[in-house]
Structure formats: structure tokens, C-alpha cells
């Protein structure tokens, strides 16, 4: 068996082959204790301490020049690249999930005035229409590439519709968001990734600033209008940079993570647990619970970086102020103290207490939208294409991203279509 240290070296490299099945490594990590120090960071893999860290008043967001992960790489970077890294952190810190305390409360309060349950629920019919249109374009072929021809399109079209972004710009937006996804979990000493991300982030910033300028005072979607006009106490508004950062977060989280979740879910249901797919065919009322179990068992986000603002002890491990603490969400979601027989996939399980959308003040604002998209996908596919399967079940290619796990390619065959 690979040692835990060797496995973590591969994990944070990251290694695409390992990301195809990182769960034995997560089991090793849990066996090592609630917390484990690895180089410049401390990994927390047990459910309760992980959940506590997500709400602890001494916990801060992890993309910061104060963190040990930042300090571990800057000596190897040139001055220009250090500047780029600091500028990226400055941008990330303007997102809702990038700040804490009163700043976070303010941004989240403004965002929630726009991203309401009513706005999200109104998208349900549109999500079904997009799903049906995408399937109509491939139904006659018998086989198609699930990630490229479906999973990336559905959430991207939905999020672009909500923010009134022109359809011809979707591809460029996807490329920028993908670069952001690679950076968050990347080795920051990799100057190629650092420079590409810096270029993409500020190109997206310039693009979105232009979009806002064209929408202010004119016709646009309800959500975009609400964000542009969002007011808090004493007529507080988003600044331009805050609005760009907030919408960048929505675009990224609403597209990249959901695309990966859909791919992971198809592998889980069609390759690893076919009997659960058959159960959903027979009992579609189980779909909402199946979405929660897929989020727990096959979720996209593998971990989130946090910082602790004071010396403390976590799970018997001493942690210094501003050490980077890795909340290993995907490992915690299989902790048997929280989920009995946690390595077992069961769509009838009550697994809604998972950490895949975070917990507490930083709980994902787009959680309801992702749930609707996933439920629509499962209901539609199990009803219309019950014989659906993977073309190459033993050769699923996963991306080399340790933070956001998902297949890069997933050829599927549809089988006979049922009316």
C-alpha cells in the first residue's frame, strides 16, 4: 500500500490517475486521526472537526498572503510573479466566500437580495427546456461525449441566462472559469498556471465590467438587475470590483463545480452502482435524496483551504496562527461517525448533512440551483434513457485537479429512448 505521505505528495501535485479514485487515500487520512500535518498545511478529515472549522470565529478564508501555503512558495517566485499572486488574492478576497466577519455579512446580505429562492425556482422550467434541447441534439446518434456535449453546457447556459450574458461569449467565459478552477487547487509555484490565471481573471474582470456598463439602466434579467441595484443598510451598494468578483464566483461555482458533479454522478450510477440507477428508474420519487447522496459520495469539491488566526490545537495537532488548514470535505463526507457505513453509496440514505456546499455563514449561495439542475438531469435521463451506460467504463479520464474532482471525458451510449 502507498504510504500516506507518498499519497499526499501525489494528491497535491496533483495526479490525474490518483484523482480517478482518491477515496482509499482519504480513508488512510481518516485513520491517521482527525488532523494530520503535511508540509506547510494541516489536513482535517473527520466530520465534526471539519464542520466546526467551517464556522469557527478564528477561521479565515485561505487565499491570503498571511497563510503558510503562500509563505511556502514566494521565495521561489520572481518579483513580478509574487505581485501577480498578491493581485489574485486581492481579487479573490472581494468574493462573498473570500472574506469573513462583517465584510462577509455585508456582501452576502447584498447578494441574497438578488439570489432569492423565488429567482432560482423560476429557472426550473428553463432548466428542463435546456436539458431537453441538449438531449435532442444527440438522441439520434446513440453515443455522445457527456462532459463536452452536455454537462458543461447545461449549467453554463443556465448561469449565462441568469446574468444576461450573450450566448456567443459562453465559450470564453468557460475558459476563464476553468483557469480559475485550476489555480485554486494548484501548486502556486507553477508560474505557468499562475500567469495564465492572472491573465484570465483580469480579462474576465474587464469583460464583466463592460457587460455591467451596458446593462445599467437598461433591460436585463431580474437577477442581473437586482445585483446591479442591490442595496443594503444606509443605501449600501456593491462596488464595481465587488460586483465583478461576486458574479465571477457565481459563474465559476454555478458552472465548473456542477459540470464536475454531473460527470462524477454518471460514473457512480452507471459504472460503480448500477443497481442504484435501476432503483431511480423504478422510484423517481427518490431523486431528491439521490442528489444529496451523490453530493456526499461523489461531490466535486475535495477540500477547502482555511486559515486560523491564532495558535490552537486541532485533533491533537498543534497549529500556529495563519497556518493553512485544509478542510478535507470529501474525506469528512465518508466519516462513519457521521454517516454509518460511509463508504457505501445508497440513494435512500438521509445524507443531507454533508459538507459539499460548506456549512454555516459560507454555505453555498447557489446550492438550490445546483440541486434543481441535478434533479432535472436524473429524472430526465432515468425516464427517457433507462438503458444508458458508459462506452469505456474502465477508461474514464479524470482531470488533474486535487480540489475540484471530475472526469474530463465521458463517452456514453443512450440506448433505446422511452417516451
Residue pLDDT, tens place only, 360-398: 777 787 888 999 999 999 999 999 999 999 999 999 999
Task: Quote the pLDDT of residue 33.
Answer: 97
Give Cα separations from 144 to 136, 193, 267, 411 (angstroms): 12, 31, 15, 6
The half-sphere exposure of 162 on its side-chain side, counting CA atoms within 13 A, is: 29
Task: Quote the pLDDT of residue 222.
Answer: 81
Residue pLDDT, tens place only, 37-49: 999 899 999 999 9
CATH of domain 80-312+339-413: 1.10.630.10
Peptide bond into 268 cis (omega under 30): no
Task: Quote the pLDDT of residue 214.
Answer: 82
Task: Quote the pLDDT of residue 62.
Answer: 65
Of 197-201, 231-235, 359-363, the range with the highest mean pLDDT is 197-201
Does residue 233 surpass a pLDDT of 60? Answer: no
| Sequence ranges of the domains in the chain | 80-312+339-413
Average pLDDT of the chain, as a whole number:
88
How does residue 114 score in pLDDT terms, banded at 50, 70 and 90?
low
Does residue 297 surpass a pLDDT of 70? Answer: yes
Of 301-310, 315-324, 381-390, the range with the highest mean pLDDT is 381-390
Task: Quote the pLDDT of residue 234.
Answer: 54
Q: What is the DSSP string of 239-288?
A: -HHHHHHHHHHHHHIIIIIHHHHHHHHHHIIIII-HHHHHHHHH-GGGHH
Does residue 235 surpass a pLDDT of 80? Answer: no
Between residues 125 and 182, the one the model is more confident about: 125
Residue given cell 469505456 in the structure block: 392
Task: Quote the pLDDT of residue 131.
Answer: 97
Amino acid at each position: 500500500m502507498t504510504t500516506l505521505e507518498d499519497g499526499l505528495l501525489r494528491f497535491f501535485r496533483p495526479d490525474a490517475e490518483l484523482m480517478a479514485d482518491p477515496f482509499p487515500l482519504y480513508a488512510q487520512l481518516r485513520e491517521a486521526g482527525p488532523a494530520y500535518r503535511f508540509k506547510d498545511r494541516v489536513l482535517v478529515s473527520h466530520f465534526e472537526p471539519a464542520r466546526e472549522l467551517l464556522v469557527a470565529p478564528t477561521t479565515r478564508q485561505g487565499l491570503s498572503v498571511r497563510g503558510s501555503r503562500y509563505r511556502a512558495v514566494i521565495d521561489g517566485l520572481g518579483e513580478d510573479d509574487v505581485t501577480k499572486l498578491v493581485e489574485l488574492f486581492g481579487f479573490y478576497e472581494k468574493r462573498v466566500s473570500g472574506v469573513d466577519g462583517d465584510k462577509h455579512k455585508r456582501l452576502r446580505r447584498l447578494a441574497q437580495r438578488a439570489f432569492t429562492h423565488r429567482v432560482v425556482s423560476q429557472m426550473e422550467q428553463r432548466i428542463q427546456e435546456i436539458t431537453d434541447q441538449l438531449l435532442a441534439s444527440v438522441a439520434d446518434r446513440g453515443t455522445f461525449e457527456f462532459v463536452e456535449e452536455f454537462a458543461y453546457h447545461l449549467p453554463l447556459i443556465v448561469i449565462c441566462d441568469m446574468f444576461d450574458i450573450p450566448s456567443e461569449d459562453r465559450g470564453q467565459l468557460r475558459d476563464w472559469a476553468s483557469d480559475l478552477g485550476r489555480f485554486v487547487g494548484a501548486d502556486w509555484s507553477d508560474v505557468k498556471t499562475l500567469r495564465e490565471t492572472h491573465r484570465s481573471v483580469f480579462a474576465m474582470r474587464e469583460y464583466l465590467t463592460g457587460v455591467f456598463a451596458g446593462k445599467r439602466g437598461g433591460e436585463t434579467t431580474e437577477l442581473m438587475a437586482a445585483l446591479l441595484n442591490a442595496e443594503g443598510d444606509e443605501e449600501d451598494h456593491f462596488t464595481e470590483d465587488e460586483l465583478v468578483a461576486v458574479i465571477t464566483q457565481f459563474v465559476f461555482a454555478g458552472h465548473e463545480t456542477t459540470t464536475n458533479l454531473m460527470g462524477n454522478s454518471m460514473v457512480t450510477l452507471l459504472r460503480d452502482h448500477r443497481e442504484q440507477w435501476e432503483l431511480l428508474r423504478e422510484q423517481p420519487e427518490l431523486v431528491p435524496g439521490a442528489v444529496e447522496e451523490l453530493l456526499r459520495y461523489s461531490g466535486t469539491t475535495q477540500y477547502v483551504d482555511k486559515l486560523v488566526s491564532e495558535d490552537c490545537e486541532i485533533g491533537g495537532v498543534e497549529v500556529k496562527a495563519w497556518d493553512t488548514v485544509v478542510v478535507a470535505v470529501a474525506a469528512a463526507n465518508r466519516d462513519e461517525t457521521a454517516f454509518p457505513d460511509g463508504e457505501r453509496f445508497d440513494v435512500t440514505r438521509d445524507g443531507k448533512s454533508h459538507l459539499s456546499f460548506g456549512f454555516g455563514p459560507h454555505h453555498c449561495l447557489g446550492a438550490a440551483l445546483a440541486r434543481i439542475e441535478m434533479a432535472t438531469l436524473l429524472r430526465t435521463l432515468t425516464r427517457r434513457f433507462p438503458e444508458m451506460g458508459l462506452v469505456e467504463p474502465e477508461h474514464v479520464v479524470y482531470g488533474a485537479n486535487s480540489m475540484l474532482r471530475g472526469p474530463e471525458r465521458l463517452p456514453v451510449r443512450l440506448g433505446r429512448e422511452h417516451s
